[in-house]
Structure 1
Amino acid sequence: MSETKITVIYDNPTDPSAFESAYEAEQLEAARKIPGQVRFEASKVWPKEDGSPAPAYRMIDLYYPDYDAACVAVTTPEAGAFFEALGRLSTGGVRILMSDVEVAQQ
């Protein structure tokens, strides 16, 4: 069985400064505490070439050994704390995907 990845895509917040001031403590640190991860990535989306915002703002990727492990992880109290903060901070919208990693990083 291949890895499973949970991707959180934050759309552009209504107040980027407020989002950034809370992001590290309320999202990154909370995401790192969700158990069972084999890898963690966080990224900020580049603006378009003309300087205008892209449709997405930031992303967090949480990698798990398999689908079952990812499903267990999202039911933990640590995940609950992460998702509660996510609801408060993602003022511009958010998308969450769970996907099968078909080609893993070498």
Structure 2
Amino acid sequence: MVKLVALYKKPEDVEAFLKHYREVHTPLVKKTPGLERLEVSMIKADAFGGEPPYFMMAEMYYRDWETFNAAMKSEENKAAGKDLMSFAKGLVTLLVAEVEE
């Protein structure tokens, strides 16, 4: 399994950010072909103390590399990426991971 991980720094206007994320961005992401699961987590603490470096994490799961690569090239993903840059540029870090089960 392959997953795309989005780590978000805390925006200045959390309410506006979350409204856009939930009402606009999430529906776009869910249209991405091959997406098996989207999991969004709100970061509540840094396990070592202090302020956590991120306030939210989204994990998007794909069956395998072939499915993931096709999804990343899709028009639906391009729309989601364009939207992401419209509200989270400078706030988001994107990582790709292979899940070991």
Instruction: Please list every run of 5 or more consecutive structure 2 residues that lacks an aligned counterpart in the other structure.
Output: none
Counterpart position of 2:84: 86
TM-score (structure 2 length as normaliser): 0.85
* Partner Cα distance (1:67, 1:48) in 2: 31
* Partner Cα distance (2:65, 2:99) in 1: 10
Aligned residues: 99
TM-score (structure 1 length as normaliser): 0.82
- Cα 1:85–1:53 change in 2 (3 A) is farther
* Partner Cα distance (2:17, 2:65) in 1: 30
Deviation at 1:72, TM superposition (A): 0.9
Counterpart position of 2:39: 41
Deviation at 1:67, TM superposition (A): 1.2
CA-based RMSD: 1.8
- Cα 1:24–1:71 change in 2 (3 A) is same
Residue deviations 1:85-104 (CA, integer Å, cap 9, x gap):
1111115511111111012x
Identity %: 27
Counterpart position of 2:12: 14
Runs of at least 4 residues off by over 2 Å: none
Instruction: Please list every run of 5 or more consecutive structure 1 residues that lacks an aligned counterpart in the other structure.
Output: none
